[in-house]
């Protein structure tokens, strides 16, 4: 009974300290099928420990006070990744595992910690990887999966063309070309994590030698990529008969089927590796050896202590009395965890930190698709582009707009042709660990070749006719941590039905531009910036600094992207964007929350019309 009480008390205190990480990990695993395997990681670790129960039963646990070092170190590390400038979920998971290691080392000692170290380290596969790292690796794996699928489909006799990460499968009867985009969910990155976890689990359970385990683990990436190439080929063949096969959840189902096939492949590799070592031949020779005096003493010690330690799991005997709860090791561990839990909660409350951001929408839920189709100098061409479900899933939001605008003839100078610009808007809210999609990644994935690296250029909006909002400016300056004066301008929308506040310091607006060579020839220029929590930034990294400040209750950001193949260079695109945004930006801002009202606590309102900004 005391052993169970000790485990229960320390377990509850540990969960209390790191509860935010566990809640976030549950949300990630529940809402994203790519990380649903995280639920099984602790189960596999416990199974590994159960397999080693006989070895653990022969070891005597001792209180090892140096274990306090990693336990104590995990608390400030967790705070750093929770409320510090480097806040991210993956870092919190690493701090949690470090704390668990220190706790077990303190209570069990170094001899017991050795056989449980690998099952403990295996828990790292249950921590969702940072989006920034995911994106950096995913892009390369997308290309590998696309090229591998292209080769395999053509070997199977299916005529296929490749452009970037997009395959075009030709129907054998009609000759129609069916596009097959290799989205991030099919790229292999998320499957690599699941395959790596699966491969390591098989290695730890089925293999004994360290080199065998490393060899099997290293097979995780090739096996995952091979399975994803097969997945792309299956989707390509299936799309010829039913285009829906490559959309929705069908590709996820095929991925899970191939994951099961990958398990069989890992088991075959483990069987082959076991065959390379003949452990049975070494056993008779080992029996003829006489143990030395030191080995005999250790064996005798283990045998003498075994009857006492086998009675309980991990050497904590069931015959212990209630006085065990007063042991220094238990008291020290409980004290550290208790103080850490209270200190973290108190510090967060005192600093007013908002660990989770609430989603917030524009007034009356206005979507970015409601942006005006016509301005004094620009008019929309055709219908707005509609993305398929798998691309919306990759984009990460359904609140988007892809529309082409053409310069009106009356606004074009003599001797020049009208400029055509494609405007892309994407609105995100309530997401704290995300990295925006940018042309440097998205256009390259579509088969474009970057011919000029990104550069930041001033847009220089003409703000004449826009007035200074004195109250909003004072509020923005007061709340600015660096004490910088920030100007908030306001403008009437084209319909003169509302006065809209612009992003802070919008007269200094800059955009990030890059140039690409299109697959069919020609050059495409792209520029973008982000509006986030009432401010603006030209970099994806700056979004986190604006939209996810620790004391903000809400978070949103809007990507504003302009592309064109009719301009000569980035400077000309900046000039064209200046003209479009000068007339369209006030209407774009109507599709975002009025951040000044959010800061004042007067928006958003609940159903009864009361402010909920501070809740």
Residue 612 lies in a domain: no
Q: Which two tokens stand for residue 327?
A: 């042991």
Which residue, among 245, 130, 237, 147, has the nearest Cα to 189 in the 3D structure? 130
For residues 126 and 146, what is the distance between their CA atoms, to the nearest angstrom?
28
Residues 97 and 33 in one domain: yes
Which residue, among 183, 186, 178, has the nearest Cα to 236 in the 3D structure? 178
List the domain range (segments joined by +) for residue 222: 132-275
Residues 163 and 110 in one domain: no
**Starting from the edge strand earliest in sequence, which strands make up the sheet with 467-468, in order?**
467-468, 489-492, 499-501
Residues 400 and 535 in one domain: yes
Non-local CB neighbours of 337 within 8 Å, separated by 6+ positions: 10, 13, 14, 16, 17, 103
Q: Does the predicted TM-score (pTM) go above 0.85? A: no
Residues 182 and 267 in one domain: yes
Which residue, among 432, 587, 443, has the nearest Cα to 517 in the 3D structure? 443
CA angle 406, 412, 413 (to 5 degrees): 160
Structure-token match 């988007």, residue found: 400
For residues 105 and 97, what is the distance between their CA atoms, to the nearest angstrom?
12
Q: 189-206 vs 220-241: helix axis angle to the nearest 10?
A: 130
Mean predicted confidence (pLDDT) in 16-37: 85
Residue 288 lies in a domain: no
pLDDT band at 219 (very low <50, low <70, confident <90, very high): confident
In this predicted structure, what is the pLDDT of residue 381?
A: 95
Residues 438 and 548 in one domain: yes
Residue 118 lies in a domain: yes
Residues 263 and 206 in one domain: yes
Residues 147 and 42 in one domain: no
For residues 476 and 13, what is the distance between their CA atoms, to the nearest angstrom?
41
Structure-token match 């053509």, residue found: 154
281 CB burial (10 A radius; 0-12, 13-18, 19+): exposed
Residues 563 and 466 in one domain: yes
Asked if 116 and 49 touch (Cβ cutoff 8 Å), the reply is yes
In this predicted structure, what is the pLDDT of residue 33?
A: 67
Q: Does 187 score more than 60 pLDDT? A: no
Q: Which two tokens stand for residue 286?
A: 């080992």
In this predicted structure, what is the pLDDT of residue 220?
A: 79
Please give the distance of CA 449 from its chain centroid, rounded to a whole number: 26
- Measure Cα distances from 156 to 159, 179, 230, 417, 536 in Å: 9, 18, 11, 48, 50
Percent of the chain with pLDDT over 70: 79
For residues 39 and 380, what is the distance between their CA atoms, to the nearest angstrom?
48
Residue 420 lies in a domain: yes
Q: Which two tokens stand for residue 526?
A: 């792209």
For residues 223 and 488, what is the distance between their CA atoms, to the nearest angstrom?
54
pLDDT band at 373 (very low <50, low <70, confident <90, very high): very high
Asked if 554 and 534 touch (Cβ cutoff 8 Å), the reply is no
Q: 3-class secondary structure for 145-197?
A: HHHHHHHHHHHCCCCEEEECCEEEEECCCCCCEEEEECCHHHCCHHHHHHHHH
In this predicted structure, what is the pLDDT of residue 558?
A: 95
State how beta strands 510-517 and 523-532 pair. Answer: antiparallel
Asked if 198 and 266 touch (Cβ cutoff 8 Å), the reply is yes
Q: Does 307 score more than 50 pLDDT? A: no
For residues 413 and 377, what is the distance between their CA atoms, to the nearest angstrom?
12
For residues 429 and 426, what is the distance between their CA atoms, to the nearest angstrom?
10
Q: Which two tokens stand for residue 499?
A: 């006065």
- Least-confidence region, from 228-232, 280-284, 448-452, 537-541: 280-284
Residues 108 and 242 in one domain: no
Please give the distance of CA 439 from its chain centroid, rounded to a whole number: 19
Q: Which two tokens stand for residue 237?
A: 């063949």
In this predicted structure, what is the pLDDT of residue 248?
A: 52
Non-local CB neighbours of 326 within 8 Å, separated by 6+ positions: none
pLDDT band at 447 (very low <50, low <70, confident <90, very high): low
Long-range contacts of 460-467 (CB under 8 A, 24+ apart): 460/509, 460/578, 461/506, 461/507, 461/509, 461/578, 461/581, 461/582, 461/585, 462/578, 462/582, 463/489, 463/506, 463/507, 465/491, 466/490, 466/491, 466/502, 467/491
Of these ranges, 269-283, 452-466, 582-596, the one predicted with the greatest mean pLDDT is 582-596
Q: Mean pLDDT for the chain?
A: 81
Structure-token match 């030709």, residue found: 170
Residue 358 lies in a domain: no
Residues 497 and 565 in one domain: yes
The residue from 316, 351, 386 where one domain ends is 351
For residues 293 and 286, what is the distance between their CA atoms, to the nearest angstrom?
16
Number of other CB atoms surrounding residue 528 within 10 Å: 24
Please give the full DSSP string across 245-301, using - where no structure is assigned.
GGSTTHHHHHHHHHHHHHHHHHHHHHHHHHHT--HHHHHHHHHHSPP-HHHHHHHHH
Q: Does 16 score more than 60 pLDDT? A: yes
For residues 232 and 2, what is the distance between their CA atoms, to the nearest angstrom?
55
Residue 285 lies in a domain: no
Q: How many domains does the chain have?
A: 3
Residue 608 lies in a domain: no
Q: Determine if residue 402 is left, alpha or beta; phi over 0 gives left, psi from -120 to 50 gives alpha, anything else beta.
A: beta
For residues 480 and 475, what is the distance between their CA atoms, to the nearest angstrom?
9
Residues 102 and 194 in one domain: no
Phi and psi, residue 458, nearest 5° = -70, 145
In this predicted structure, what is the pLDDT of residue 484?
A: 67
In this predicted structure, what is the pLDDT of residue 318?
A: 42
**Residue-wise pLDDT tens digits, 390-446:** 677 778 889 999 999 999 988 787 778 899 999 999 999 986 555 677 887 777 666
Q: Which two tokens stand for residue 354?
A: 């908002």
More confidently predicted of 229 and 19: 19
Please give the distance of CA 323 from its chain centroid, rounded to a whole number: 47
More confidently predicted of 315 and 394: 394
Residues 525 and 389 in one domain: yes
For residues 602 and 610, what is the distance between their CA atoms, to the nearest angstrom?
8
**Residue-wise pLDDT tens digits, 545-562:** 888 777 888 999 999 999
Which residue, among 504, 509, 501, has the nearest Cα to 528 in the 3D structure? 509
Number of other CB atoms surrounding residue 19 within 10 Å: 13
**What is the Rg, in whole angstroms, of the alpha carbon atoms belonging to the chain?**
30
Residue 206 lies in a domain: yes
Counted residue by residue, the chain has a size of 615
For residues 19 and 385, what is the distance between their CA atoms, to the nearest angstrom?
43
Q: Report the SS3 class of residue 396.
A: coil
């Amino acid at each position: 009974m005391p052993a169970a009480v000790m485990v229960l008390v320390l377990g509850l205190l540990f969960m209390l300290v790191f509860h935010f990480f566990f809640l976030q990990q549950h949300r990630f695993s529940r809402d994203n099928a790519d990380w649903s395997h995280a639920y099984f990681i602790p189960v596999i670790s416990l199974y590994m420990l159960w397999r080693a129960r006989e070895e653990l039963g022969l070891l005597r646990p001792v209180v090892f006070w140096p274990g306090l070092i990693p336990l104590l170190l995990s608390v400030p590390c967790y705070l750093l990744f929770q409320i510090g400038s480097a806040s991210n979920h993956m870092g919190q998971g690493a701090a949690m595992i470090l704390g668990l290691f220190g706790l077990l080392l303190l209570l069990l000692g170094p001899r017991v910690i050795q056989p449980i170290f690998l099952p403990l380290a295996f828990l790292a596969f249950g921590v969702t990887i940072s989006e920034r790292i995911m994106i950096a690796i995913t892009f390369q794996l997308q290309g590998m999966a696309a090229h591998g699928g292209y080769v395999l489909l053509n070997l199977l006799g299916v005529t296929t063309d490749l452009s970037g990460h997009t395959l075009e499968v030709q129907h054998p009867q009609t000759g129609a070309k069916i596009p097959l985009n290799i989205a991030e969910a099919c790229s292999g990155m998320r499957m690599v994590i699941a395959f790596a976890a699966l491969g390591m689990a098989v290695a730890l359970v089925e293999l004994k030698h360290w080199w065998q385990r490393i060899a099997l683990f290293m097979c995780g990436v090739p096996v995952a990529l091979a399975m994803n190439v097969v997945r792309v080929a299956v989707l390509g063949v299936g799309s010829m008969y039913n285009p829906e096969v490559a959309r929705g959840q069908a590709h996820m189902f095929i991925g899970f089927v191939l994951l099961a096939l990958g398990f069989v492949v890992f088991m075959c590799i483990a069987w082959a590796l076991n065959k390379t070592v003949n452990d049975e031949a070494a056993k008779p020779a080992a029996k003829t050896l006489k143990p030395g005096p030191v080995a005999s003493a250790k064996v005798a010690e283990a045998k003498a202590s075994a009857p006492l330690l086998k009675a309980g799991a991990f050497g904590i005997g069931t015959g212990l009395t209630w006085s065990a709860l007063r042991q220094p090791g238990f008291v020290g561990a409980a004290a550290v965890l208790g103080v850490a839990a209270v200190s973290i909660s108190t510090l967060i409350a005192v600093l007013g930190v908002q660990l989770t951001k609430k989603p917030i929408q524009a007034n009356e839920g206005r979507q970015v698709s409601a942006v005006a189709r016509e301005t004094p100098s620009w008019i929309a061409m055709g219908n707005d582009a509609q993305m398929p479900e798998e691309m919306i899933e990759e984009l990460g939001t359904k609140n988007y707009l892809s529309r082409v605008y053409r310069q009106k003839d009356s606004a074009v100078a003599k001797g020049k042709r009208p400029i055509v610009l494609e405007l892309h808007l994407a609105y995100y809210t309530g997401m704290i660990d995300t990295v925006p999609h940018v042309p440097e990644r998205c256009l390259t994935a579509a088969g474009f070749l970057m011919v000029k690296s990104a550069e930041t250029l001033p847009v220089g909006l003409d703000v004449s006719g826009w007035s200074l909002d004195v109250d909003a400016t004072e509020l923005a300056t007061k709340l600015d941590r660096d004490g910088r004066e920030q100007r908030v301008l306001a403008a009437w929308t084209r319909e003169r039905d509302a006065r809209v506040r612009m992003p802070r310091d919008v007269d200094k607006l800059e955009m990030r531009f890059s140039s690409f060579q299109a697959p069919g020839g020609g050059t495409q220029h792209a520029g973008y910036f982000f509006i986030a929590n009432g401010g603006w930034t030209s970099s994806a990294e700056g979004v986190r600094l604006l939209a996810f400040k620790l004391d903000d209750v809400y978070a949103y950001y809007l990507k504003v992207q302009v592309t064109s193949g009719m301009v000569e260079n980035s400077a000309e695109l900046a000039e064209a964007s200046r003209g479009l945004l000068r007339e369209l930006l006030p209407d774009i801002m109507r599709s975002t929350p009025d951040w000044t009202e959010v800061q004042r606590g007067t928006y958003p309102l609940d159903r009864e019309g009361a402010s909920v900004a501070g809740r």
